[in-house]
Amino acid sequence: MHYVYIFKSLKNGKLYKGYTSDLRKQINEHNRGYEKFTKTGIPWKLVYYEAFSDKTDARREELFLKSGKGKERIKFLLENTLI
């Protein structure tokens, strides 16, 4: 399986969107500071994910969520989570 995910920083409230084939490993790496971009936002909490059987579909969704329309969709989907 391939996953598109959104993490929310419990420290500063920022969102991080990404793609992985191992969701548990990914959240652990982010929370251990292995990822340079997310190191300052530790701890991170998983707030959303989608599972795909096809890698290309997952990557396309990740790119969409990082776009302007994707950000609008995130606000709609996670309205209460992002408060």
Quick one: pLDDT at residue 36? Answer: 83
d(CA 54, CA 19): 12
d(CA 51, CA 20): 10
Quick one: pLDDT at residue 48? Answer: 96
d(CA 14, CA 74): 13
Domains of the chain, earliest start first: 2-77 (3.40.1440.10)
- Identify the band that residue 9 occupies on the pLDDT scale cut at 50, 70 and 90: very high
15-57 pLDDT per residue, tens? 999 999 999 999 999 999 988 888 899 999 999 999 999 999 9
Quick one: pLDDT at residue 68? Answer: 93
What mean pLDDT do residues 51-72 have? 96
